[in-house]
Amino acid sequence: MKAETGGREQAVGIGAPRRRPVQQRSQERYERLLDACAGLLDEVGAGALTTKEVAQRAQVPIGTLYQFFSGKESLLAALAARNLDRYLDRLARRIGAEHPLGVAGFVDLAVEEFIAMKRAVPGFGHLDFGLVDHLPTTAEAEPSAALDPEHLLDADLDNNEAVARRLQLLGAPLVGSLGVPLTLRVALEAADAVLKLAFRADPEGDPALIAECKRLLRGYLAD
């Protein structure tokens, strides 16, 4: 499912929030819940995360959480969507300020902004635009049988394809056509694998593997 927001097509995940807050107080609570979710991801991981703990950390009643989110899946989906929006906003600002040239410039900035968020944004190491790791089954984990980790951003498209379509819209004015969505999808799958390896080798991201990721993407997308 897609929603139009400000003239921009926006993915709607299968676990999309029940309602978007309108009043300032509600918006603040909504953001606090997402912030709490992100912080707890770093502490306990996605498998052990519970809506009860998120509500306690955000200092809101559990009933307030369920006004916005149907459950854990909906909460994770909203955080993934916020991460993607913030990433694209950061990338757009970098492009506007630095005016990179062609595919190589676009690739470098796209990778660098992702790495910057990976290093600094709470919870991003566990949930960027989708779950980084498979959900473990633990005794403490909240039931998540309905969670579809491949479709947090869009009910019809998997996470990488949803991201690819947003990146295609952002990059088109800069480099022209980046090929069919499948091309960007393949590029994202490759980048995802290499960057996971980079952060597995080094908590800050192995510089040599990050450089190889850029080289791989430049060559593939410029072909």
Average pLDDT over residues 184-197: 92
The tokens of 85 are what?
């929006």
* pLDDT of 187 over the 60 cut: yes
* pLDDT of 1 over the 50 cut: no
CA angle in degrees (0–180, nearest 5) for 112-101-113: 15
* Closest listed residue to residue 69, CA positions, set 134, 128, 7, 144: 144
Q: Name residue, tokens 């107080």.
A: 25
Q: For position 24, what pLDDT does the model report?
A: 84
Assign 3-class secondary structure to 124-164. Answer: CCCECCCECCCCCCCCCCCCCCCCCHHHCCCCCCCHHHHHH
The more confident residue out of 106 and 183 is 106
- The amino acid occupying position 142 is E
* pLDDT of 8 over the 50 cut: no
For every residue of 54-98, DSSP letters joined together read HHHHHTS-HHHHHHH-SSHHHHHHHHHHHHHHHHHHHHHHHHHHH
- How would residue 168 be classed by pLDDT, with cut points 50, 70 and 90? confident
Q: What is the pLDDT of residues 10-64, one digit of tens each?
A: 444 555 565 666 688 889 999 999 999 999 999 999 999 999 999 999 999 999 9
Domain map (residue ranges) of the chain: 2-222
Percent of the chain with pLDDT over 90: 62
**Cβ(151)–Cβ(158) below 8 Å:** yes
Give me the residues paired with residue 9 across strands.
4
State the chain's mean pLDDT as an integer. Answer: 85
CATH tag, 2-222:
1.10.357.10
